[in-house]
Amino acid sequence: MAKKGIGIIGYGGFGEFIAKAWNQMDNARVVAVCDSDPNRNPGAGVAFYTNVDDFLTDKSVDIVSIATPPSSHKDLAIKTLRAGKHALVEKPLALTVEDAQEIKRVSEETGKLATVNFVIRWNPLVEMLKEIVDAQVLGKLRRVDLRNYAMQDTVPEGHWFWDPKVSGRIFLEHGVHFFDLASWMIESPAKDACAMTVERKPGMEDRVFASIKYENGVIGTFWHSFSRPRELETTTFHFAFDLGEIEVVGWIPLELGIWGWTNEAGLGKIEELLEGNEVVVDPVEPHKAHSSEFDYDVEYELNTVVEMGDEKLDVYAQSIRAVMADFIEAIDNPAHKMRITIDNAIEAVRTAEMATKAVK
């Protein structure tokens, strides 16, 4: 099939990054860009617009990437769909569940696809984690715990990030990535939420914490702060099971640590997933381990770490290409189910909305 033409609305640093990533694909090419700043013109070979309506009449554009502040996502997504183009929206899909559901309604009405660029689902270590969770290698998943200590350099005072009318606050603007990842692993809707926040100064709510109880009884805790120096930025996502723990390191995950008990089938699954990597494992006296209401056969103790060999930005770009490849497959093949659906995007907004309201 012919290459899909991609148009990008919002051509700041991130817009340039995703354009470079997608231009390395065989079946897609960035053909147009729209930005209110004329100095962001990408140069020869790519049409440049400062007016969205003019941009959306460009017949070479099949897919629109919406890389603008969150408050604009709903209107731009709906305009895109009504213009007969598919919409890939940066997170979050919208500022409210109601607005997100409106985008879904227009998508169904127009027959054009819409989803969100939740790149973490396409990270190779996260894909590995999903298989471990589904196979219950360490038993049932019981808890997830995110600790996100982000740098403050990218969101200085006065940035739109601090304006709740534009960003929707941290749980929505940033937290949806991790609410979505948790939902994917847990496979259960969020049921209850409690939350607390702290302001650095009036109008700069830079530390937030939420506890989420899911319908299947899993508990999730989520901490985000935007106050550290660039050099000390860290993100870890901890997953606790009946028989052990897994820790994912990096908001673009580059390391995964596995510790706990398993059986012959569980070890076989780990060796399959880590083919080509050393698996650190010790035999233990075979026995039945009782945890919660379950009895598990135990034969081995795992204590191993998997590291990505690629650089962070390369892994990020690979995941961005995977999102687009999956989106294009769904466009070309109506029977294909995207890994990240619009319903996933709405659920992440719903969870973030629950956490934000719980603060009040």
Rg over CA atoms, the chain: 21
pLDDT of res. 230? 92
* pLDDT string in tens for the chain (360-residue length): 689 999 999 999 999 999 999 999 999 999 999 999 999 989 889 999 999 999 999 999 999 999 999 999 999 999 999 999 999 999 999 999 999 999 999 999 999 999 999 999 999 999 999 999 999 999 999 999 999 999 998 899 999 999 999 999 999 999 999 999 999 999 999 999 999 999 999 989 999 999 999 999 999 999 999 999 999 999 999 999 999 999 999 999 999 999 999 999 999 999 999 988 889 999 999 999 999 889 999 999 999 999 998 999 999 999 999 999 999 999 999 999 999 999 999 999 999 999 999 996
Q: What is the pLDDT of residue 124?
A: 96
Strand 294-307 and strand 255-262: the pairing is antiparallel
- Of 68, 79, 83, 97, the closest CA to residue 8 belongs to 68
Does the bond joining 42 to the residue before it have cis omega, within 30 degrees of 0?
Answer: no
> Which among 356, 312, 329, 339 is positioned nearest to 117, based on CA atoms?
339
Domain boundaries, the chain: 121-314
Instruction: Quote the pLDDT of residue 309.
Output: 87
Confidence (pTM)? 0.96
Give the pLDDT score at 1.
67
CB 33 within 8 A of CB 15: yes
Task: For residue 58, give Cα distances in angstroms to 49, 93, 220, 231.
Answer: 10, 24, 44, 42
Q: What pLDDT does residue 276 have?
A: 84
**CATH top-level class for 121-314?**
alpha beta
Position 231 scores a pLDDT of: 94
Judged on CB neighbours under 10 Å (0-12, 13-18, 19+), 219 is: middle
CA distance 309 to 242: 30
